[in-house]
Amino acid sequence: MRLELSAVSKSFGEQAALRGVSLALADVGTTVLLGPSGGGKSTLLRILAGLETPDGGAVLLDGETMEYGEESLLRHRRSIGMVFQSLNLFPHLTALDNIALPLEKVHGYTPRAAAAYALQLLERFQLANHARRTPAQLSGGQCQRVAIARAVAIKPRLLLFDEPTSALDPEMTVEVLDLIAELRQEGRPIVLITHEIGFARQVADQLVFLHQGRVLEYGPAARLFAQPRTAEMRVFLEKVLRY
């Protein structure tokens, strides 16, 4: 998948989150958004998901410009799988129903077909024994795996992850990262924000470094990790790779 951004800007009140962001990736592969807090990573991810509308600029996926009318955004959101750091599961629904309900209500599956496909995904992600449990009855790692299964269920053109392990303990973090690595091996286009820098170095094909709402560097991850060109990225990597 090709991803192009042209002079994308976004402000919240007087706070500028993105300041004329431009980039062109011929193949998203697994793209990691990296940079200090407040740099604009989550805002950019939410724009890609169709959850925020930019104030200016253009976003193109495979040459198709994103439109921001209500119907266009609804179509776009149906084609994007988004996994949030806060899980966003329905607390009153079982793991099975959290996956099946969007398939039925949004994507036109019959109740029987939605439930069957949801159970198939839970089996694949080693969660079949937890199909009838609610989020409160699951561990954090299990909940996040259900959220990933829900995102994958819609057969998205692009998978987005916003710090999916930030609230998990180390063992649960490994479970979720293993699952993301598995999805990467399947060749799914992924854009990921993560503080797990070791994991980012392992899986990233492309790296985008954001600082104070601007993209200062982007390109092949191996090159940027090894030879960052800007002082800002060198300082950032020195800090996060110190220990």
Q: Looking at the DSSP assignment, which residues form a beta bridge with residue 21?
A: 8
pLDDT of 50 higher than 80: yes
Average of per-residue pLDDT values in the chain = 94
91-115: average pLDDT: 96
Q: What is the distance between the alpha carbons of residues 196 and 128, in angstroms, rounded to a whole number?
A: 28
What is d(CA 85, CA 163) in angstroms, rounded to the nearest whole number?
5
pLDDT score of 243 more than 80: no
Residue extents of the structural domains in the chain: 1-79+159-243, 90-156
- Asked if the model's pLDDT at residue 212 lies above 80, the reply is yes
pLDDT value at residue 227: 95
Q: Give the model's pLDDT for residue 99.
A: 97
Identify the three-state secondary structure at position 223.
helix
Mean pLDDT computed over 169-190: 91
Share of the chain above pLDDT 70, in %: 100
Confidence of residue 113 (pLDDT cuts 50, 70, 90): very high
Query: Count H helices, E strands: the chain?
Result: 9, 10
pLDDT for 5 beyond 80: yes
**β-bridge pairing 30-34 and 190-193:** parallel
Can you read off the two tokens belonging to residue 198? Answer: 């070791």
Q: What is residue 158's predicted lDDT score, i.e. its pLDDT?
A: 97
Q: Is the pLDDT of residue 150 over 80?
A: yes
Is pLDDT at 197 greater than 80 in this prediction?
Answer: yes
CB-CB contact of 185 with 177 (8 Å): no
**Percent share of the chain, pLDDT over 90:** 89
Angle at 76 between CA 186 and CA 217, to 5 degrees: 65
pLDDT at 87 over 80: no
> Which pLDDT tens digit goes with each residue over 52-84?
999 999 999 999 999 999 999 999 999 999 998
pLDDT score, position 211? 97
- 89 has pLDDT over 80: yes
- State yes or no: pLDDT of 88 exceeds 90: no
Q: In this predicted structure, which of 2-16, 20-34, 171-185 has the lowest mean pLDDT?
A: 171-185
| Mean pLDDT of all residues in 149-176 | 91
Q: For the residues 128-146, what does the mean pLDDT come to?
A: 94
CATH fit for domain 1-79+159-243, picks 3.30.479.30, 3.40.50.300, 3.30.2130.10, 3.40.50.720: 3.40.50.300
**What would the two tokens of residue 181 be?**
């690595």
* Predicted TM-score (pTM) of this structure: 0.94
